[in-house]
Amino acid sequence: MKKAAGFIKKNPSFCVFAVLALAVIAVAVFAPALATHDPYEAVLTNAVQPPSAEHWFGTDRMGRDLFSRVLYGARTSLTASLSLVCIIMVAGTLLGIVAGYFGGVLDAVIMRISDMMISFPGMVLAIAVAGILGANMTNAVIAIAIVSWTKYARLARSLVLKIRSRDYIAAARVTGSKTSHILWKYMLPNALPTILITGATDIGTMMLEIAGLSFLGFGAQSPTAEWGLMLNEGRAYMTASPWLMVFPGLAIFITVVVFNLLGDSLRDVLDPRNE
Amino acid sequence: MRTQWCKKAAAAVMAAVMTLSLAACGGSGNTSQGGDSSAADGTHLNFSCYNYSNSMDPITNVNSSWCFLRYGVGECLFRFDENVVVDYALCDAYETEDYITWTLHIREGVQFSNGNAVTASVVKASLERLYDAEANKTGNSTPSQYVTFSSMEADDAAGTVTLVCDSRTVNLPGILAYPWYGIVDTSVIDTEVIGTGPYYVTALEENSTIDLARNEYYWDGEVPYDTIRIFLTEDSSTKAMALKSGDVDLVENITTASDLAELEADDTYYVSTTAGVRLGNSYFNFNGVLGNDALRQAILYAIDDATMCDITVGGMYTAGCSVLPSSLSYGYDQLTDPFAYDLDKALETLDAAGIVDTDGDGYRELDGQRINLSYIAYTSRNLDEFAQAVAITLESIGIGCTVTVQDYDTALANQSAGNFDLITSNATTVPTGDPTGFLGNFYSGNSGTYGYYANDQYDALYEQLLTAADAGEQLELIIQLQQILIDDAATLVHGYYNSTFASRASVVSGADIAPIDYYWITTKIHPAA
């Protein structure tokens, strides 16, 4: 308990943002309990109602309760963003470590593929991939993953290159340690803190990218409750019924800010200079 | 303290400079009296519309031929008036005795916008080029869909073109008013598309703008504008905002209900709405699960078309039950709808037919298979909104339905291939001035691309309609055909699309939309006094 109090005292901003992030996650998890209506129940005669006591955030063009849809949207957006960050973090890190440790042809191949990927504007390539695969949430995650893993691969590779020629790695080799053991016990732990910080700060960015694809029609499809899609659906009513865009927009804004600041404060926590 | 004050002052000055810079970048927002610099002198109109095609050559495809007429560049031998009655245009008289051989007199003194004369030979060459393009597959327009000719003869001395139809064709003037049959100057067609309309194209930037100028040789009265710039705008809200900001003076078909409502409520704008001749519907695929009569009937019972037309799409459509719009004189009042909206009856019908949820997953099964309808929609004219509203309603009665919004060409390809259970459509019901062609979509010989509907009685009556020359007989047959389609639950009718034009009242006058929307830019649209 004393330790926890000490940690909180030492890292107040991290604790605040961690609590806020947990609150966002809690909203997603407990959406069924918090929602006032079924987010998919449409009453066509109640379309585009302004915010009221009955519908706190108003209703959308199909007469669905916007508050409930925004809450359920947290589930879709968070699940997709966290899955995406996990995928690109694991895939990118593994490829980066392998490229950095083994070097040679393997390094050249992985890094050239990575170069090819970053030579295109990320969002444009993601749109092209999502367009080819077909518009749905899974394909949107795959599309963004394909263009986003390179950052982690480059990062992991540079970190591995930094320690590959250290004496303790050489010692591990001469004492007969297996390659897998060296990768797992020495390379990965050295790369992990930086990768984790990058991953944490990427959650917000990825959420924006997924919302962007859904907004453009390449991600979630109607009637899914997803913030980007809800923004698109409300776009036509922007001037007459602004609440259709304001509330999903606020949800994206708040969540992205919370996860970005959480990532920043996590960097401060893990920074050895703060010890 | 002094340093701090200096910093604050510097920041304030910087902010002011940036604000002024940004303000200088913006426009005045009032360019309606000829905001485009190219039109500093003379009258100028800025018009914004959806881009259906980058071509204006009638042989290219349906949309290009429509653009040829809509932009005021070309004309046909005949045209439709505001009551969808066919009227003379480049042809000023005709004769026929048997409805097979038609002698059309070409109006004297008409010139193309490049000054070349419109002669009988040129008209013949233009029509021949259209049919050659279809035969040679150099164009996607299919004029033989409406009429084919065994011969075409031109007599320049008499100024007549004699057309011999392959079969008795009662409505040839109406057919020749269809945009495919727009007359082009074939002597220059390899380099440019020249017609006889009030304006001609001076510059075209694909998917962006089209510049038009006055046709000095126009035959039918004064041309009001020296120049027109057409802004090709995909998004309806963007069009509305451009009108409000003064960037454009006239827009066609604002399809977002909220934007249209705002414009209608503001005296600054004149909104012209007409009960159009377009049907918004969804075709059922009879080769799939929707071949089941009870299921289709239940769907018709479950769909509240009036609410969808009035609220979901904000009055952009007028609700109805028949495939022919209630505003046309085809006996709508004599039709009865046995499947008018009644949710309880929908549930009763499904239960009575044994289409029930046996496994408790919330969805009904048909022949042991969970129903999950594949509903294809495209975004034109609120069709995707209809599809979503229908899907939500069907889900509420335990019929699974997945809406896929596709671009128009993909949806059309899927329609032709039969890869759908339901597919949205918005089409002109009287493309040639009568509904025979449209009713042919449900004739078993043609219905392959419209869901494979087939009814022997319908086929027999339709064949009768094709040869009927008496107007009374035609009307009687058309009414019977409509009733059969209603009784068979042959298609899901959403409503009849109301076309709109919105203009800045202080700048533009006479901007009224025609019921048959082949004509957008006409000489009736002129600067406000």
Concatenate the DSSP letters of all residues of A85-103 into one string. HHHHHHHHHHHHHHHHHH-
DSSP label of B441: G
Say if residue A223 is preceded by a cis peptide, omega within 30 of 0: yes
Query: Which of left, alpha, beta for B154 (phi over 0: left; psi -120 to 50: alpha)?
Result: beta
Name residue, tokens 């097979």.
B100
A133 contacts: CB under 8 Å, gap ≥ 6: A139, A142, A143
The CATH number of residue B344's host domain is 3.10.105.10
Contact with chain B for residue A173, Cβ under 8 A: no
Q: Are residues B314 and B423 in the same domain?
A: yes
Q: Would you state the structure tokens that stand for residue B209, as one six-digit string? A: 């703008």
List of chain B residues whose C-beta atoms are within 8 Å of the C-beta of residue A234: none
Distances from the Cα of B510 to the Cα of B69, B90, B247, B472, B507, angstroms: 18, 23, 19, 35, 11
Name residue, tokens 């000054």.
B115
Structural element, H or E, at residue B508: strand B508-509
The 3-state DSSP class for residue B274 equals strand
Which of A44, A222, A239 comes nearest B308 by C-beta?
A: A44
Paired with B161 in beta bridges are B104, B154
d(CA B249, CA B263): 13
Structural element, H or E, at residue B343: helix B343-352
Tell me the pLDDT tens digit for each residue of A218-257.
888 888 999 999 999 898 888 888 999 999 999 999 999 9
Name residue, tokens 């009763």.
B348
Which of A61, A236, A238 comes nearest B312 by C-beta?
A: A61
Query: Which of left, alpha, beta for B360 (phi over 0: left; psi -120 to 50: alpha)?
Result: left
Identity at B291, one-letter amino acid code:
G
ipTM metric? 0.75
Which of A44, A236, A239 comes nearest B389 by C-beta?
A: A44
CB contact under 8 A, A62 and B236: no
List of chain A residues whose C-beta atoms are within 8 Å of the C-beta of residue B385: 61
List of chain A residues whose C-beta atoms are within 8 Å of the C-beta of residue B404: 221
Q: Would you state the structure tokens that stand for residue B422, as one six-digit string? A: 């339901």
CB A210 within 8 A of CB A228: yes
d(CA B450, CA B435): 16
List of chain A residues whose C-beta atoms are within 8 Å of the C-beta of residue B375: none
Higher per-residue confidence, B409 vs A115: A115
Contact with chain B for residue A235, Cβ under 8 A: yes
Q: Is residue B461 part of a domain?
A: yes
List of chain B residues whose C-beta atoms are within 8 Å of the C-beta of residue A45: 307, 311
Q: Smallest Cα–Cα separation from A89: which of A144, A149, A38?
A: A149
Q: Are residues B359 and B486 in the same domain?
A: yes
B272 contacts: CB under 8 Å, gap ≥ 6: B500, B501, B502, B503, B511, B512, B513
Interface test with chain B among A239, A241, A243, A244, by most B beta carbons within 10 Å: A239
Residue B20: predicted pLDDT: 45
The residue segments making up the domain with residue B106 are 44-229
* Angle in degrees, CA B122, B127, B129, rounded to 5: 90
Which of A62, A222, A238 comes nearest B237 by C-beta?
A: A238
CB contact under 8 A, B391 and A221: no
Nearest-Å Rg of the Cα atoms of chain A is 22
The CATH number of residue B171's host domain is 3.40.190.10
CB contact under 8 A, B404 and A237: no
Q: Would you state the structure tokens that stand for residue A210, as one six-digit string? A: 């997924």
Q: Are residues B216 and B346 in the same domain?
A: no
Residue B25: predicted pLDDT: 43
Q: Is residue B155 part of a domain?
A: yes
Count of pairs with CB atoms under 8 A, one residue in A, one in B: 54
Interface test with chain B among A37, A41, A44, by most B beta carbons within 10 Å: A44
Paired with B49 in beta bridges are B232
A27-47 average pLDDT score: 93
Contact with chain B for residue A237, Cβ under 8 A: yes
Residue B3: predicted pLDDT: 53
List of chain A residues whose C-beta atoms are within 8 Å of the C-beta of residue B304: 44
CB contact under 8 A, A236 and B259: yes
Distances from the Cα of B112 to the Cα of A53, A135, B118, B197, B497, angstroms: 65, 47, 6, 8, 34
CB contact under 8 A, A61 and B385: yes
Distance, in angstroms, between A86 CA and closest chain B CA? Answer: 29
Torsion angle (degrees, nearest 10) of CA A204, A208, A209, A214: 140
CB contact under 8 A, B388 and A221: no
Distances from the Cα of B474 to the Cα of A217, B134, B171, B434, B469, angstroms: 46, 30, 12, 10, 7
Q: Are residues B175 and B288 in the same domain?
A: no
The 3-state DSSP class for residue B105 equals strand
The 3-state DSSP class for residue B297 equals helix
Chain A nearest-CA residue for B237: A236
Nearest-Å Rg of the Cα atoms of chain B is 26
Interface test with chain B among A61, A127, A229, by most B beta carbons within 10 Å: A61
CB contact under 8 A, A42 and B389: yes
Paired with A240 in beta bridges are none
User: Where are the domains positioned within chain A?
Assistant: 76-274
Residue A122: predicted pLDDT: 79
Q: Are residues B304 and B177 in the same domain?
A: no
Chain B nearest-CA residue for A38: B396
Mean pLDDT per 10-residue interval, chain B, length 529 residues: 55 52 41 42 92 91 93 97 91 94 97 97 97 93 91 97 93 95 96 96 95 97 96 89 95 87 93 90 96 97 95 91 92 96 96 94 93 92 93 94 86 88 94 90 86 95 89 95 97 94 96 90 94
CB contact under 8 A, B262 and A239: yes
Distance, in angstroms, between A81 CA and closest chain B CA? Answer: 24
d(CA B51, CA B84): 24
List of chain B residues whose C-beta atoms are within 8 Å of the C-beta of residue A47: 311-312
Beta strand residue intervals within B236-358, DSSP E: 250-252, 269-284, 317-318
Interface test with chain B among A40, A218, A222, A229, by most B beta carbons within 10 Å: A222
- Where do the H-state alpha helices sit in B399-455? 408-417, 436-439
Contact with chain B for residue A223, Cβ under 8 A: yes
CB contact under 8 A, A44 and B393: yes
Q: Would you state the structure tokens that stand for residue A163, as one six-digit string? A: 């320690």
Q: Is residue B503 part of a domain?
A: no
Domain count, chain B: 2
Q: Are residues B153 and B48 in the same domain?
A: yes
A13-23 average pLDDT score: 93
CB A55 within 8 A of CB A67: yes
Distances from the Cα of A202 to the Cα of A120, A199, A259, B72, B334, angstroms: 19, 5, 8, 53, 64
Identity at A245, one-letter amino acid code:
M
Contact with chain A for residue B385, Cβ under 8 A: yes
List of chain A residues whose C-beta atoms are within 8 Å of the C-beta of residue B394: none
Contact with chain A for residue B517, Cβ under 8 A: no
- Assess whether pLDDT exceeds 50 at residue A195: yes
Distance, in angstroms, between A242 CA and closest chain B CA? Answer: 11
Residue A70: predicted pLDDT: 96
CATH of domain A76-274: 1.10.3720.10
Interface test with chain A among B238, B258, B317, by most A beta carbons within 10 Å: B258
Contact with chain B for residue A133, Cβ under 8 A: no
Task: Residue A87: count other Cβ atoms within 10 Å of its Cβ.
Answer: 18
Contact with chain B for residue A242, Cβ under 8 A: no
DSSP label of B102: E
The 3-state DSSP class for residue B497 equals strand
List of chain A residues whose C-beta atoms are within 8 Å of the C-beta of residue B388: 62, 222-223
* Angle in degrees, CA B438, B441, B444, rounded to 5: 140
CB B425 within 8 A of CB B438: no
Q: Smallest Cα–Cα separation from B329: which of B433, B175, B438?
A: B433
Q: Report the percent of chain A where pLDDT is more than 90.
A: 58
Name residue, tokens 């259209």.
B130
CB B375 within 8 A of CB B289: no
Distance, in angstroms, between A135 CA and closest chain B CA? Answer: 9
Which of A41, A44, A238 comes nearest B312 by C-beta?
A: A44
Residue A177: predicted pLDDT: 87
Burial class for A103, CB neighbours closer than 10 Å (0-12, 13-18, 19+): middle
Contact with chain B for residue A132, Cβ under 8 A: no
d(CA B432, CA B415): 23
Which residue, B169, B197, B229, sits at the end of a domain?
Answer: B229
d(CA B159, CA B63): 30
Which of A62, A217, A236 comes nearest B258 by C-beta?
A: A236
Contact with chain B for residue A239, Cβ under 8 A: yes
Q: Smallest Cα–Cα separation from B46: which of B321, B241, B242, B194?
A: B242
Contact with chain B for residue A183, Cβ under 8 A: no
* Angle in degrees, CA B300, B304, B306, rounded to 5: 120
Q: Would you state the structure tokens that stand for residue A232, as one six-digit string? A: 């698109």
Torsion angle (degrees, nearest 10) of CA A185, A187, A189, A190: 140
Name residue, tokens 């993953």.
A145
